[in-house]
Amino acid sequence: MTNILPQTSSIKYKALYSWIIGKINDGSFSYKEKLPSESSLCELFQVSRQTVRNAMDRLYQEGYIERVKGSGSFVKKPVRIREKTIGILFLTLAGYINTNILNGIEEVLTGQGYSILLELSHNRVAHEARFLQKMLASNVSGLIIEATKSSFPTPNEHLYRRLAQLKVPYVFVHGGYANVDAPAIVWDDKRVSYELTERLINAGHKKIAGLFKFDETQGVNRYLGYINALVDNHLEIQEDYIGWYSDSNQPEEIRRKNNYADAFAMDILGHCTALVCYNDLIACHVIRHYISNGVSIPEQLSVASFDNSDVTKLYNLQRIPSVTHPKEEMGRQAASLLMEYIENPSLDAATKKIITL
């Protein structure tokens, strides 16, 4: 038989390990069934006895097999066959970005015969925990997740670690966590924020305010791009004109966020000539507040944003200067990356692989 395992010695045992797990998962090696002997595996895959022992040692340590002296190795526990379902967790669908990302995800997954199980966290850590616990108890093949309060380490690290132990791959969109190693598809928020701020500077603005979301890595990175553009163009950083907010999509917190944004918008008026907003939603809210208070936009203040979405139509506003977000492509990339890990279990999904759009 031709050797079907990778030829690099350092990864041969991982490939054999993944092959055996695959056979357990698809039922080829059933519960309590005896596995092929070490010598049989050596001959079958043309690998050394040490390579086989390394693979079997790892399977034993992780509880997939048990060893019976004088008899061999046996499948230790039944493993449920994975369903062709992908669990998806978004913060919300009330906006405009995630619905387009979902379209991109569906385009790839439905073409591969997978169905989708969608839930929302509303940016609440407890909601994310319930979703992860539900996924751990299910037979899903993989997960696509928008991290909750991603600028902070997650208290759900133990649940992500359990997913990795069970070989359930997951991919983050927008950004993951500092304390969880996993692949992620992200937009280059720092770069696009730098470019947007520099466009305002090139248009003659010297006093530019910023309003960002502090509990998401996107907000932090957009702040960094904005700050770097000011510094590189020798403009003073006015900390009083940099605002931060959070929003967990709960009515009380939405009201608090809107009140803060309204007050911040009025505070910078007369001091700044432009404002960079975290996204189109907050930009539209601020513009409506200005208009209701008799402020002329953009004559008295230019407001720029991110995403270049159709949300302005909901507010009956003309399109504002905004950077286009690669929404559908982010979804396609996330689904395609997840499929790589599902179809090739030898790949280590517990690595911090970042793909930037």
Structure confidence at residue 9 (pLDDT)? 47
171 pLDDT exceeds 90?
A: yes
Across residues 49-57, what is the average pLDDT?
88
DSSP-assigned letter for residue 80: P
DSSP-assigned letter for residue 241: G
Show Cβ contacts of residue 83 under 8 Å, excluding neighbours closer than 6 positions.
138, 139, 140, 141
Higher pLDDT, 11 or 61: 61
Tens of pLDDT, residues 264-276: 999 999 999 999 9
Query: Residues 265, 266, 269, 272: what is their CA dihedral angle, to the nearest 10 degrees?
Result: -30
7 pLDDT exceeds 70?
A: no
The model carries a pTM of 0.77
Beta strands in 160-237 (DSSP E): 170-173, 184-186, 208-213
pLDDT band of 300, cuts 50, 70, 90: very high
The amino acid that residue 101 corresponds to is I
25 pLDDT exceeds 80?
A: no
- CA nearest neighbour of 149 among 87, 218, 252, 95: 218
- In Å, what is the CA distance from 60 to each residue of 20, 57, 76? 12, 5, 9
Tens of pLDDT, residues 305-326: 998 777 666 555 665 778 889 9
Structure confidence at residue 143 (pLDDT)? 97
Across residues 32-52, what is the average pLDDT?
87
Across residues 182-206, what is the average pLDDT?
96
Round to whole Å and give the CA distance between 97 and 337: 19
**Structure tokens of 111?**
């073409």
DSSP-assigned letter for residue 204: T
